Chains A and B, each alone.
Chain A
């Protein structure tokens, strides 16, 4: 599929979608669905649920396209945020059992980004990965786990068997460093 991929082309699609142009939504789907399906799968680890969520994501994009503001975020950021939020909502709806299943999966391995990915990475992505890798491994892993798992402080504390206040201070310090690094 030859799909529009530049940020400008995607932003133009959004304004067409906002006026009710289904063809534009189809183009956006061709350009972004593989990435968003990957995000849903990464969070839910379940194909069927990921398909349901992906469907919701595009219906949401369709309905809320008029609120997209290119001055605030890129289209990719905006649609990825919707996909992540929807997938995490679904994960949370599974209930506490879902968290229990994942106790052993604090994912340090996830930090390793393949060379291909790095080559393709746009600047801000590369920068974020660079800054994350400057954090200590534990903090980086906790931040990634929280981001992809929708895992609350309470649940993180339980998983890692440390007091809630400790997890909180790791994450807060990590986020402060991350911000400092991204602004350099």
Chain B
């Protein structure tokens, strides 16, 4: 065969990601890059399509009889009709959601920590506004809570508690986002693993907080998403919606 043209760096990286030879840190980089560079994401897609026929050469093996009923039992309510808020977050690709860099390391810790619920400070009953609460979970078939958020209308603050074990992924930060009804993510700062903090909100943003507003945490390079006005750059670690307690 004649020598093909050399792949340029971006193309080689995309091909390597599609093939699966990158290590965990590089995979996380590739995922983040897919999220912010459509051209790179298209390159990865193209390589996935080139390589996917390999799976077609695998012999088909009938799945066991009892499997469909098992699947049907665990089908969640189909969430495809979600509010604009959650849809706004769907910039990352369905096929790769299972391979987020963050997840594997932090999940075991989260499961462990989830057994030790954080104490969220609740306002006295005479507080005029209704406290809203959200559990932020991973978005897979067995959601795991990674963060707990509460919006306190009296203090106009969002109280966020991280259930992620500290020290798992020092190369990244967890950035907090709120997505009010307009669907645009607003950056609210960082959440340190294992810590709680109260984040004051501007009056305008505080006024837009309501039941159903989405809260999300993304995994970002140190310093946070490079262009917070356009939303997260890295994968979404967890998402939840505010609801009355």
A135 touches B56 (CB 8 A): no
Residue of B3, B56, B60, B93 most packed against chain A (CB within 10 A): B56
Known: A41-B61, A73-B48. A55 touches B71 (CB 8 A): yes
Specify which of B48, B70, B93 is in contact with A67 (CB 8 Å cutoff).
Answer: B93
Q: Mark B13-27, 1 if CB is under 8 A from A, else 0.
A: 001100111110000
The verdict on A82 contacting chain B, using a C-beta distance below 8 Å, is yes
The verdict on A159 contacting chain B, using a C-beta distance below 8 Å, is no
Shortest Cβ-Cβ A-B pairs, 3 listed: A180-B4, A64-B94, A20-B78
A76 touches B97 (CB 8 A): no
B62 touches A55 (CB 8 A): no
Q: Mark B185-226, 1 if CB is under 8 A from A, else 0.
A: 000000000000000000000000000000000000000000
What count of chain A residues pass the 8 Å CB interface test?
A: 80
Min CB distance B73 to A, Å, is: 10
Q: In the complex the two chains form, what is the Cα distance from A169 to B80 in whole Å?
A: 42
Looking across the interface, which residue of chain A has its beta carbon closest to that of B103?
A89
The verdict on B122 contacting chain A, using a C-beta distance below 8 Å, is no
Q: Mark B86-114, 1 if CB is under 8 A from A, else 0.
A: 00001001111111000010000000000
- Which residues from B are CB-within-8-Å of A147? 19-20, 51, 54
Query: Which residues of chain B from 19 to 73 have a CB within 8 Å of any chain A CB?
Result: 19-23, 45, 47-64, 67-68, 70-72
Known: A134-B1, A176-B4. A37 touches B63 (CB 8 A): yes
Min CB distance B65 to A, Å, is: 11
Known: A20-B81, A29-B68, A85-B96. A182 touches B52 (CB 8 A): no
Q: In the complex the two chains form, what is the Cα distance from A181 to B55 in whole Å?
A: 19
- Which residues from A are CB-within-8-Å of B22? 152-153
B53 touches A81 (CB 8 A): no
Task: Give the interface residue-count category, chain B.
Answer: 35 or more
Known: A92-B104, A147-B54, A177-B4. A20 touches B80 (CB 8 A): yes
Q: In the complex the two chains form, what is the Cα distance from A109 to B141 in whole Å?
A: 35
The verdict on A4 contacting chain B, using a C-beta distance below 8 Å, is no
- Knowing that A55-B70, A62-B76, A63-B139 touch, tell me 20 more A-B residue pairs with CB under 8 angstroms: A19-B80, A33-B62, A37-B63, A41-B61, A47-B64, A51-B63, A51-B64, A55-B67, A59-B71, A60-B141, A63-B80, A63-B94, A65-B80, A117-B59, A122-B56, A146-B21, A150-B20, A175-B12, A179-B4, A181-B4
The verdict on A34 contacting chain B, using a C-beta distance below 8 Å, is yes
Min CB distance B58 to A, Å, is: 5
- Which residues from A are CB-within-8-Å of B71? 29, 55, 58-59
Specify which of B53, B61, B64, B96 is in contact with A38 (CB 8 Å cutoff).
Answer: B61
